[in-house]
Amino acid sequence: MGNTENMESDYRKFINSLDKIKIDSANKVFEISKILNDNDKTTVNTLMINDVGGYKVVGNLCTRENVAKSLNIKPNELMNHMIKAMENEPNGQLVLDEELEKQYVDDDVKKITDYPIPTYYGEDAGPYLTSGIVIVKDKDEGVNASIHRILVRPDGNLVIRMVEQRHLHYIYNKNIENMIKEGKDGVDVAIVIGVEPALLLAASTSGDVSFNELKYASAIMNKPIKTIKGKTVDLEIPEAEFIIEGKITNKNDDEGPFVDITGTYDVIRKQPVIKITALRTKKDPIFHALLPGGTEHKILMGLPQEPRMFKGIRNTVPSVKNVALTEGGCCWLHAVVSIDKKTQGDGKNAILAALAAHPSLKHVVIVDDDIDIYNPIDVEYAIATRVQSAKDVIIVDGAKGSSLDPSADHKMKLTSKMGIDATMDLIKGKKEFVRAVIPDIK
């Protein structure tokens, strides 16, 4: 391999730059998840486990602060940064790198069961890939990259949870019959594990079916994405610690039970089987374990939705300042929206616009721009001092909501939604609501 063997990837540079809790060793059945969970809310929560069956494992990687650090920006600048990158997505660059290809070693496909893939919770169907970016290609729509949970079966095959409304499901269904007719095993797929946070962020983003998540990742990082050619699939694969190539077949098997973002179990479904055709890793690869229902899971689900919500709200309330999907609301069901209130009805309009922009949203609080939307105490203060329930709370019953909400009516697929206008009453005047400030001492 020559000198390429010692080239340090940006993924590893980023990990090395973080303050971490270091663990000597752990078992991949429950112990990794126990360690991740116990440290999920600590000040320093990124973990490096040095030995899991001979592999290194990193976890709690993509906090809001860490993602911002990887991009050399502040956490409160993330949303505007992503909006600009979305606009620049067509200009993102993917570059084939032959030298990068020399950094990989081949593994026997059966070795997948030796990888440090955790079994997270007691009722899980088995070990699950949770941080893998799934890459497919369609001749009309182009490349699609997305994150899906993937069960590793004892026979070495995989079962992927393919959500019906997602683009992967669309591309798979569009192509699978023709692939089988042509004598192929299924739809070409690559799964990459161990990548920079921007790639995970981009793969978690919902866009048009033609939206290229890999180019978007390039725009987020403002640099080209290095790729290599697949060995057994017709795909360009971004640099990663672990690369799994395979075919998404027309065969189905049980997937689940498995824990979703709310920390509760999802149901068992028949889902497509992936036949592995090649495995490659970097030398001494670092696996990324993503705890289901943990903060990292929530951040990667919610953070990409915030720019979409911001743009939707801005169409109705141009003075919107910021949007946050809160961790207490699983970064999916609850949001706080900051506005510079210009007219008395802005708060109510922002509620309706927020619920429309993110259909899974259940509760939203609208606050003035003097409130820190990332501080739950500050948000609660706004609710306590600026809300009169009879006129400032909007309840919408019988709306379509999130399938992830265990309290919803899943038979009818309906839920109740609520918006709280916790902004200052302009009729009473802002003077009654402005908080006292201690002057600087001269």
- Which residues belong to the active site? 260
CA distance 1 to 172: 36
Please report the DSSP string for 18-29 in residue order: S--EEEEE--TB
CA distance 338 to 321: 5
Please, which residues bridge with residue 152 across strands? 158
Q: Compute φ and ψ for 23, nearest 5 degrees.
A: -120, 135
Coil, strand or helix at 228: strand
What is the identity of the amino acid at 18?
L
Task: Please compute, for residue 381, the number of CA atoms within 13 A of its CA located in the half-sphere on the CB side.
Answer: 13
Residue 73: CB atoms within 10 A of its CB come to 13
Coil, strand or helix at 199: helix
- Report the residue count for the chain: 442
Q: Compute φ and ψ for 11, nearest 5 degrees.
A: -60, -45
Contacts of 4 (CB under 8 A, 6+ apart): 99, 100, 102, 103
Q: Compute φ and ψ for 152, nearest 5 degrees.
A: -95, 115
CA distance 150 to 127: 9
And the tokens for 324? Answer: 């946050």
Helical H runs in 39-77?
Answer: 64-70
User: In the chain, how many H helices and how many E strands?
Assistant: 13, 23
Residue 336: CB atoms within 10 A of its CB come to 27
CA distance 8 to 94: 19
And the tokens for 356? Answer: 């429309």
